[in-house]
């Protein structure tokens, strides 16, 4: 019989503001992560638009003071990395992981709330630099001597606020990572073995391992920078026996794994989306998991590929390991493409964004492989090529994956579907704007344009590509309008989603939309990585094909 009364009738649940501010419910906290991070995305985006407006044509137009330009790109990158991509993906994980493993909440709900509330605090500290005589202006990497005190650096409080803010956000990440790991290891429903977990949960697991093991290392780099700046220390001061490259080593020991913290959860999202909208199981479930683990492990041995030109690192080793990472990443590309292959594809918005991830991340992977070659990197280091590469990975990859996840889980979070029409307009504008912004940066990089400059000579041959990139940047900004309007309208008048609008595979679709505070009244039997699919098609009792 095909009647499965898996979930109770939807409960009308209208929490007030106080309930939101004091909640320990992982779903509310997850949604607050999403909203908070998206606000910082808009703030970071405004800084990016200011930067692009400045670079659109030669000469100084927007900024009268180059140091304010430096503050803008530094705060843009810091906000986008530490206050947008990392926390918003953690927020998606926060919402989905307990649901996907059939748990009522995270393992430590109060610590979960603490992790969240550190983020707005960290963000305010970071931005308050503008009120304290100038924000951090040494780039998001904040290499000494630019970030230390001395003739080359700005001695303002902004850099110290940047350090304190990042330590705070890092602590939030570490606590969140511990929470995810304990939740995943200890809170799984009966039958949910490790190799039946959704890929999203697996990617959050590997991400959390990276967070717990790498984030404290940047904390150590930051506290030493703080000591140098404020307590008279000499860690990074070569004139007093310190070593400036030491900072780069410790910084990248975190910041390279952090790249995987920023992209693995997005990979998890599209690994949920592609099977559902292709009506097929994920091609090579276990291979995908091992590839994810391999990326996590190799990610700890490639940090110095950011430092090839320092002359202080062993080039063949770091180049080789960097190339090696292309292998598990390639495995994943096969997983995704062969999931689509001969699938019954429905071109819904989540799938379109997921395919956007596939194509754009592929470009980001390929131009990354070029930079992994030492001689090529010596030519391209610190040029706009690197800016193109990192945006193809973090915007083309992570942000497209993030939007796939938002369109996919919005019905679960709110009970209403987003409009497909606005979703597709959003995608088209963002896709065109993204490529118009960042593809020209490849040409600029090859033409030798250095990153982090406020102005360039009009005879340098960089004018056309810069103008194109700036137009594209504003198009990305415009593409957020249909998205926000979509959210606004759909929350009020969107179609009622029902429990399982996409015919999903994983446990979150077995409960109501939105789920009750305790998540599940009852669970389907878990005999494979697709328990809801099994329940829908009466496959209970058959062994999983894994």
State the residues that interact with other proteins by CB under 8 A: 1, 3-6, 102-105, 107-108, 174, 177-179, 181-182, 185-191, 193, 212-221, 223-224, 227-228, 231-235, 240-243, 246, 249-250, 253, 518, 520-526, 535, 538, 540-541
Query: Under 8 Å CB-to-CB from 106, ≥6 apart: which residues?
Result: 26, 94, 97, 98, 112, 179, 180, 183, 187
Triad 319, 310, 236: Cα angle to 5°: 125
Closest contact distance (angstroms) between CB of 252 and other proteins is 12
Q: Tell me whether residue 134 or residue 177 sits nearer to other proteins (CB atom).
A: 177
3-state secondary structure 260-310: HHHHHHHHHHHHHHHHHHHCCCCCCHHHHHHHHHHHHHHHHHCHHHHCHHH
Only one residue has tokens 């894994």, namely: 546
> Residue 397 gets which letter from DSSP?
I
Q: Tell me whether residue 495 or residue 522 sits nearer to other proteins (CB atom).
A: 522
Q: Tell me whether residue 75 or residue 209 sits nearer to other proteins (CB atom).
A: 209
CB 106 within 8 A of CB 177: no
Query: Under 8 Å CB-to-CB from 309, ≥6 apart: which residues?
Result: 377, 378, 381, 382
Q: Tell me whether residue 343 or residue 517 sits nearer to other proteins (CB atom).
A: 517
Q: Tell me whether residue 219 or residue 339 sits nearer to other proteins (CB atom).
A: 219
Closest contact distance (angstroms) between CB of 221 and other proteins is 6
Closest contact distance (angstroms) between CB of 254 and other proteins is 9
Closest contact distance (angstroms) between CB of 26 and other proteins is 12
Q: ω before 508 within 30° of 0 (cis)? A: no
Q: Tell me whether residue 172 or residue 383 sits nearer to other proteins (CB atom).
A: 172
Q: Tell me whether residue 311 or residue 459 sits nearer to other proteins (CB atom).
A: 311
3-state helix, strand, coil in the chain (%, to 5): 70, 0, 30
Distance of alpha carbon 531 from alpha carbon 537, whole angstroms: 10
Closest contact distance (angstroms) between CB of 317 and other proteins is 17
Q: Tell me whether residue 94 or residue 466 sits nearer to other proteins (CB atom).
A: 94
Query: Under 8 Å CB-to-CB from 140, ≥6 apart: which residues?
Result: 74, 77, 78, 81
Distance of alpha carbon 346 from alpha carbon 433, whole angstroms: 25
Only one residue has tokens 């910084």, namely: 251
- Counting runs of H as helices and runs of E as strands, what totals does the chain give? 17, 0
Separation in Å, CA 46 to CA 77, 345, 441, 469, 472: 11, 36, 19, 15, 14
The tokens of 49 are what? 């638009």
Closest contact distance (angstroms) between CB of 243 and other proteins is 6
Closest contact distance (angstroms) between CB of 248 and other proteins is 11
Q: Tell me whether residue 29 or residue 135 sits nearer to other proteins (CB atom).
A: 29
Q: Tell me whether residue 420 or residue 521 sits nearer to other proteins (CB atom).
A: 521
Distance of alpha carbon 425 from alpha carbon 56, whole angstroms: 25
Closest contact distance (angstroms) between CB of 208 and other proteins is 9
Only one residue has tokens 């039946």, namely: 196
Closest contact distance (angstroms) between CB of 182 and other proteins is 5
Closest contact distance (angstroms) between CB of 519 and other proteins is 9
């Amino acid at each position: 019989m095909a009647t499965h009364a898996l979930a109770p009738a939807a409960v009308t649940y209208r929490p007030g503001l106080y309930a939101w501010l004091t909640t320990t419910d992982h779903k509310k906290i997850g949604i607050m992560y999403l909203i908070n991070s998206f606000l910082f995305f808009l703030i970071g985006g405004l800084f990016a638009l200011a930067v692009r407006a400045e670079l659109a044509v030669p000469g100084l137009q927007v900024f009268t003071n180059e140091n304010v330009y430096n503050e803008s790109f530094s705060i843009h990158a810091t906000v986008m990395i530490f206050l947008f991509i990392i926390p918003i993906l953690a927020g998606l994980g926060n919402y989905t992981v307990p649901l996907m493993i059939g748990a009522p909440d995270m393992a430590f709900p109060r610590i979960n709330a603490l992790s969240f509330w550190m983020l707005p605090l960290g963000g305010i500290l970071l931005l308050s630099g503008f009120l304290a005589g100038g924000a951090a202006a040494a780039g998001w990497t904040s290499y000494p001597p630019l970030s230390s005190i001395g003739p080359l650096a700005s001695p303002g409080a902004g850099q110290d606020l940047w350090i304190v803010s990042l330590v705070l956000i890092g602590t939030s990440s570490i606590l969140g990572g511990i929470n995810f790991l304990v939740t995943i290891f200890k809170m799984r429903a009966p039958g949910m073995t490790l190799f039946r977990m959704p890929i999203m949960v697996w990617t959050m697991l590997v991400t959390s391992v990276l967070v717990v093991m790498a984030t404290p290392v940047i904390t150590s780099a930051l506290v030493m920078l703080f000591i140098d700046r404020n307590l008279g220390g000499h860690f990074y001061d070569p004139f007093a026996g310190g070593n400036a490259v030491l900072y780069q080593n410790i910084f990248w020991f975190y910041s390279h794994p952090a790249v995987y913290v920023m992209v693995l959860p997005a990979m998890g999202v599209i690994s949920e989306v592609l099977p559902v909208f292709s009506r097929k199981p994920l091609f090579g479930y276990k291979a995908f998991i091992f590839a994810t683990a391999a990326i996590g492990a190799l990610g700890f041995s490639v940090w110095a590929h950011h430092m090839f030109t320092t002359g202080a690192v062993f080039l063949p080793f770091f180049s080789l390991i960097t190339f090696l990472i292309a292998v598990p990443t390639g495995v994943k590309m096969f997983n995704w493409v062969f999931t689509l292959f001969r699938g019954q594809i429905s071109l819904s918005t989540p799938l379109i964004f997921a395919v956007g991830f596939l194509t754009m991340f592929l470009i980001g992977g390929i131009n990354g492989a070029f930079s992994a070659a030492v001689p090529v990197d010596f030519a391209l280091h610190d040029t706009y090529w690197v800016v193109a590469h990192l945006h193809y990975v973090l915007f083309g990859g992570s942000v497209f994956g993030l939007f796939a996840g938002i369109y996919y889980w919005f019905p679960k979070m709110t009970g209403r579907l987003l409009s497909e029409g606005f979703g597709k307009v959003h995608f088209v504008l963002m896709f065109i704007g993204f490529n118009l912004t960042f593809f020209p940066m490849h040409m600029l990089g090859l033409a030798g344009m250095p990153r982090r400059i406020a102005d360039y000579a009009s005879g340098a041959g960089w004018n056309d590509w810069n103008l194109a990139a700036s137009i594209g940047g504003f198009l990305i900004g415009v593409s957020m309008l249909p998205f926000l309007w979509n959210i606004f309208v759909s929350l009020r008048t969107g179609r009622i989603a029902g429990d399982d609008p996409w015919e999903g595979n994983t446990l979150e679709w077995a409960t109501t939309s939105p789920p009750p505070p305790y998540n599940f009244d009852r669970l389907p039997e878990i005999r494979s990585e697709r328990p809801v699919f099994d329940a829908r098609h009466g496959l209970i009792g058959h062994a999983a094909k894994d």
